[in-house]
Amino acid sequence: MRVTLLGTGDTTGTPTPGCDCETCEQASEMGVERTRFSVHVRNDRTGESLLVDASPDFRHQFLTQDVDLPDGILVSHVHFDHLDGLGNAYRLLDDVPVYAADETDPETGESVAETVERKYDYLDAVTVEPRSPLSTFRACGFDVTLVPVDHPPLVCYGVVVEDPETGAKLSLSGDTNYAIPDESRERLADPDLLLADAIVPASLCEHHPLGGRHEGADGVPRTFGTKHMTREGALTLADDLDAARTRLVHLAHFYPAAEAFEEPLAVDGEVYEL
């Protein structure tokens, strides 16, 4: 299993257009990017590739990273930075299955699968494949499981990708706060590689209108506002899950420049062999 981090940024990415903050300037000077979130998982046994989330930066990511176009796509939730790159299937992909959860979201009145089908009904190349959360299915030769996480107000899912031949395991937290349900944690546990949402350091919670939540015994917030984990929350989750290796993703340009490119914060283009 070869895992390539195509996009490690949040909804605006780093550098953010029109921003002259020190972090964005430093990223430009270093020649690194954090485009909108997307992960490419290559199965060398079958020659297939699974794309986890279709970033709006799809074209740029596939032009700049040494990966092949996907044979299957999984959509974790319907926020634009994880979904809107699906339009790139037009004239690029042929009959690509798009896997998404089938449970109805009370907020939208439809499932993620139904939203994808409605928004991209013009794409003949796309075949929506609804899947039930916590039910493992086969995609691109991998065993894949969607696990519910907590990203209010919309339903959202983490992802487990396992190679049934080698036992290699990749876990993605998805966009979530720290309050991931116990059953989902059980499915995510013991990964060879964990990709965990860590939008900002906990120190920035004081700037959020809702502050921080899910404080640890040390009083440090593990959730920024309501939707995303802090760096500290993501690292605590990694300990909770006994992850062999952890990379922090879905990172905002609000990280102070002195901390923004420290370990284990990821940047685009990182590759891991599991």
Instruction: Give the domains, in start order, of the chain with CATH numbers.
Output: 2-273 (3.60.15.10)
Residues 6+ away with beta carbon under 8 Å from 216: 222, 232, 236
CB 196 within 8 A of CB 216: no
**Rg for the chain, CA atoms, rounded:** 17
Helix (H, G, I), strand (E, B) or coil at 5: strand
Q: What is the CB neighbour count within 10 angstroms for residue 188?
A: 26
Task: Report cis status (omega within 30 of 0) of the bond before 152.
Answer: no
Cα(213)–Cα(135) distance, integer angstroms: 30
> Would you state the torsion angle of the CA atoms of residues 248, 252, 254, 257, taken in this order, to the nearest 10 degrees?
50
Which position has the token pair 């891991």?
A: 272
- CA torsion sign, 133 to 159 to 144 to 83? positive
CB 48 within 8 A of CB 140: yes
In this predicted structure, what is the pLDDT of residue 269? 98
In this predicted structure, what is the pLDDT of residue 77? 98
Per-position pLDDT tens, the chain of length 274? 999 999 999 999 999 999 999 999 999 999 999 999 999 999 999 999 999 999 999 999 999 999 999 999 999 999 999 999 999 999 899 899 999 999 999 999 999 999 999 999 999 999 999 999 999 999 999 999 999 999 999 999 999 999 999 999 999 999 999 999 999 999 999 999 999 999 999 999 999 999 999 999 999 999 999 999 999 999 999 999 999 999 999 999 999 999 999 999 999 999 999 9
In this predicted structure, what is the pLDDT of residue 185? 98
In this predicted structure, what is the pLDDT of residue 20? 95
In this predicted structure, what is the pLDDT of residue 164? 97
Query: Which residues is 49 bridged to in the sheet?
Result: 42
Q: Which stretches of the chain are assigned E, i.e. beta strand?
A: 2-7, 38-43, 48-52, 72-74, 96-101, 126-131, 137-139, 142-148, 157-162, 169-172, 193-197, 212-213, 223-224, 228-229, 246-249, 271-273
CB 49 within 8 A of CB 93: no
Cα(13)–Cα(96) distance, integer angstroms: 27
pTM of the predicted model, to two decimals?
A: 0.97
In this predicted structure, what is the pLDDT of residue 274? 98
